[in-house]
Amino acid sequence: MASENPITEFLSAVERAGARGVDTAPVALATADASGRPSVRMVLLRGADEHGFVFHTNYTSRKARDLTENPHAAICVHWPAIEEQIRIEGTVEHLDDRASDDYFASRPRGSQIGAWASRQSDTLDSRETLEEAYRAVEQRFHGGPVPRPPFWGGFRLIPERIEFWFGRADRLHDRLLYLREGDTWRVERLYP
């Protein structure tokens, strides 16, 4: 029997995957711009709890622009090694500055410098331009901490719909769909 709480189910799935040596951070994030044109890319999932699913980015990136224009998104986690997939759909919100600052401070210094140096999703004339920008930021913060750029931070996807897929023999897969109804969840079983 499935748990009544999909977050509990998700955290159990992460635990199962981790026990099998599966990297659970990369997820596919789908967004759509104001006109509904979709885009999908891999991001690192940096938190999951009762409040939602957290990832971070440059706020001028295509994904952040999409989320600003159309605050609906979907995440797909697929772990072939354990034959499980989880699809999460909902609305997004910005994380507060403190949460973004805390996560940024935990990143490796090189990643912190890279966040300042990259104008994510803008056209880049050459690799050398990026490397020069990196060196300039490295010099700027030489010997001191690297603060979070004001154009970088986190988003939280607040789930409205979570579907779990479990691979089974003869394509008789198990699919459980959780639909948010206020503060509770309704669970449905779907045909494979």
156 is catalytic: no
- Residue 96 CA to residue 89 CA, distance in Å, equals 21
Which listed residue (65, 148, 168, 171) is catalytic? 171
Give catalytic residue positions.
171
